[in-house]
Structure 1
Amino acid sequence: MARAAGERAGRGGRTLAFDLAVLLALCALFVASLCLGSVETTPAEVLGILAAGPGDASTAAQVVWQIRLPRVIEAVLLGGALSLSGFLLQTFFANPIADPFVLGVSSGAKLVVAVVIIVVLGAGQVMSPAASVGTAFLGSLVTMGFVLLISRRVRTQGMLIVAGVMVGYICSAVTNFLIAFADDQAIVNLDNWSRGSFSGATWADVGAIAVATLAMSAAVFALSKPLGAYQLGEPYAQSVGVNVLGLRMLIVLVSSLLSACVAAFAGPVSFVGIAAPHLARRGVGSSLPLLVTPACFLTGAAFCCGCDLVARTLFSPVELSVSAVTAVFGAPIVIALMLRGRAGR
């Protein structure tokens, strides 16, 4: 019993150390994102600008308050949301490479957003942030429904991933078909959205994102105990009083809403939902949702914040797609962690 208590204490200490390390890295990236760019400022200048408030009319203050600060906050919130969505899907399907991008959920969201963008632009109207989230959520939910139906018919997790990829291809094909009949402005808008970017963030967007992502993140943390039982198998979860059907529905809804929020405001962003949960589990040395959930959010936030900084500054004034940068860094991380895990076994 004393040994078990010692193991729990050691695991808790490792988790706290990892969370603090990631939080420090996130703070450093946050400050760097506010300082670096076409208008460079020092950390002391940024601190003075933030202390003075948004009323300062200087160029540096306007750049920090109106462009960089909402953008970096959006990257932090959406990175954490995408990481949690990937963690939920990996738990749900018991598959280490399940995430919204791989399973075609992001492509489904893109399809519905494409329909709305083309129709709305044709009608001369503008979508509100709530409408963007709603349409992306609908696409994510419908696509997830198809994946769930397929999961009942296939017997291996590998086939499930292949089926998810095929669903993504179908959604992409229908989207391309719609683009063929869209006007030039609609095509430009959809192309800019589909590249994945945190640019153009506004404080109104940040407010909507904060409400959605923080509420859903709190829901994921509240589900930590039943998720831990679910990881041990449905029979065990039922034996300890978990409503498995209700839990599965909540996982689908919460993961779909998290990925929809990312798709609505930043477009499809790849590999964060795979890489960040792996890094979090490796960092805390456990798969317990109670320990992994906070680490997962912080890791995804830091990962997206860093990738956005690279995308914005590496070839300035040319800005890269953030999805391309996350893939460049995320894919090797996943490969390395899987090879390391296999070697360990």
Structure 2
Amino acid sequence: METMEKRKFKYVVLLISLLIFMFFVFAFCIGFGSVKIDLKEVVHIIFNKGAFDPTNRDIVMDIRLPRALATLIGGAALALSGLLLQIFFKNPIVEPYVLGISSGATLFVALIMIGGITLGFESHSPYILVLGAFLGALLVMMLVVAFAMKVRDIVTLLVIGIMVGYICSAVTNMLVAFADHERLYGFVMWTKGSFSGFTWNNIKVLMSVGIPMIIGSFFVVKPLNAFLMGEEYAKSMGVDIKKFRLIIILIASILTAVVTAFTGPIAFIGLAVPHISRLIFRTSDNRILIPGTVIMGAIVTSFCDLISRTIFAPIELPISSITSFIGAPIVIYLILKRRASL
């Protein structure tokens, strides 16, 4: 039998290996593209030391580095949000996209970009988009949770979440029908899902909101592990269930909103990556799953973004089309595996 110490050591080694791998993926995403830049030159540019081409510096510092950082943080946030919701609803096929949270965020962003709602601000700054996306995601999530307290059947709850998403999409489509061409074009490009066009100001918002939420999730590891054993067990361990639910809702909604506000809806990262982490680590212990999912979300999203912008360059594919190729087979596999186990 494998001892607990050996198992923990194995998990730590695996996490460190994934971190190192993530670093190389990060460097590769910066150097690879229509203009290939040597890794050594990339390092010189980032640390502003050594010889480098000024044009390559502009490409790295103004375009690729912000985008690479955005894929790492955004992917980690979406994957973690999916993991938290799967634990919360005790269902392996739950994610923000399925439950309509992304649709709620999309609706409120549409109200801002198409409807001209400024939420009291003078201009459409990135902060307004984040606030609007957060409000939309939070309202839908609270609505789903309200139904969850009355409906015990998880399939019924998922159907309700999907229907709420359809309602949000219907209202969004109505706004699109009455929108002028200029505003409509910007919104349509946003809905396709992309990490292109990230600026350092966007990165500051993403990091200032996303990173604290990711760090905050590590402080709810023990309640999450207790919750896996059921609400009654969690209560016996001293977990305040109402407070716990609110914290999970807030973290998941904020993580979804801050990414969706800048990239548009990105499917399957929140659904597939937690399962990839479970397959790799072979554990349900959130002390391992949370950091593992964060790292895997960053890696998978970076790879998908790299593929989306290079496979048919100079044409860039919507990133959701790439993530779906990864996520859909995993969902099919899980469904077949569950049917086989019955």
Provide the TM-score with structure 2 as the length reference: 0.94
1:114-153 map, 5 Å: 114-120=110-116, 126-153=123-150
Task: Report if aligned partners of 1:108, 1:171 keep a CA contact under 8 Å in 2.
Answer: yes
Per-residue CA deviation, residues 127-167 of structure 1 (Å, 9 max, x unaligned), is: 22221111100000111122112223333211211111111
Paired position in structure 1 for 2:194: 197
Is 1:178 the counterpart of 2:175? The answer is yes
The yes-or-no answer on 1:258 pairing with 2:247 is no
Q: Is the 8 A contact 1:18 1:283 kept in 2?
A: no
- For 1:331 and 1:13, locate their aligned partners in 2 and report how far apart those are by CA, in whole Å: 33
Query: Is contact 2:44–2:52 with CA below 8 Å preserved after alignment?
Result: no
1:214 & 1:232 partners in 2: Cα distance?
28
Residue aligning to 1:227: 224
Shift of 1:231: 1.2
Read off the aligned partner of 1:137 and give its amino acid letter: F
1:93-143 CA distances to partner (integer Å, 9 max, x unpaired)?
101011100000000000010001123389996422221111100000111
Say yes or no: does 1:48 pair with 2:44: yes
Deviation at 1:337, TM superposition (A): 4.7
Give, in whole Å, the separation in 1 of the partners of 2:214 and 2:325. Answer: 27
Corresponding residue of 1:85: 81
Structure 1: any 5+ residue segments left out of the alignment?
A: none
Equivalent residues of 1:81, 1:258 under 8 A apart? yes
Would you say the 8 A contact 2:77–2:210 is kept in 1? yes
Find the residue that maps to 1:120 and give its secondary structure.
coil
Write the letter of the residue equivalent to 2:283: S
Give the root-mean-square deviation of aligned CA atoms.
2.3
Q: Relative to 1, partners in 2 of residues 1:94 and 1:124: Cα closer, same or farther, differing over 3 Å?
A: closer
Which stretches in structure 2 are left out of the alignment for 5+ residues?
A: none
Cα distance in 2 for residues equivalent to 1:227 and 1:324 = 32
Q: Secondary structure at the match of 2:300?
A: helix
Shift in Å, 1:333:
2.6
Structure 1 residue identity aligned to 2:66: P
Match of 1:61?
57
Work out which of the residue numbers 1, 23, 33 in structure 1 matches 2:29: 33
Q: For residues 9-53 of structure 1, what are the alpha-carbon distances to aligned partners after superposition, in whole Å with 9 as ceiling and x for unaligned?
A: 233133223323322332222122111112111112212222326
For normalisation by structure 1, the TM-score amounts to 0.93
Bigger mean CA deviation after superposition, 146-155 or 302-311: 146-155
Decide whether the 8 Å contact of 1:120 with 1:126 is kept in 2: no
Contact 2:81 2:96 in 1 (8 A): yes
How far, CA to CA, are the matches of 1:178 and 1:124 in structure 2?
A: 21
Q: Residue 103 of structure 1 corresponds to which residue in structure 2?
A: 99
Aligned length: 341
CA change 1:121–1:320 in 2 (3 A) is farther
CA distance in 1, matches of 2:192, 2:27: 25
Distance 1:41 1:239, change over 3 A: same
Residue matched to 1:168: 165
Helix, strand or coil at the partner of 2:115: helix
Q: Write the mapping of 1:302-313 to structure 2, written as runs, cut at 5 A.
A: 302-313=299-310
- State whether residues 278 and 334 of structure 1, in contact with CA within 8 Å, keep that contact through their aligned partners in structure 2: no
- 1:15–1:283 CA contact under 8 A, matched in 2: no
Query: Displacement of 1:77 after TM fit?
Result: 0.1
CA–CA separation in structure 1 for the residues paired with 2:67 and 2:19: 18
CA 1:302–1:134: 2 relative to 1, 3 Å = same
Measured in 2, the distance between the counterparts of 1:260 and 1:300 equals 16
C-alpha distance in structure 1 between counterparts of 2:324 and 2:123, whole Å: 31
- Which amino acid is 1:43 matched to? L
**CA contact under 8 A between 1:193 and 1:266: conserved in structure 2?**
yes
Instruction: State the distance in 1 between where 2:251 and 2:90 align.
Output: 17
2:333 alignment partner AA: A
AA matched with 2:100:
G
Which string of whole-angstrom CA distances, capped at 9 and with x for unpartnered residues, describes residues 270-299 of structure 1? 000011111112222211111111001001
Distance 2:157 2:261 in 1: 26
Which of 16, 20, 25 is the equivalent residue of 1:20? 16
Give CA-to-partner distance per residue, 1:300-345, whole Å, 9 cap, x none.
0001000000001000000000111111112113333554566578
- Which residue type is aligned with residue 266 of structure 1? T
In structure 2, give the amino acid aligned to 1:178: L
Contact persistence 1:226–1:237 (CA under 8 A): yes
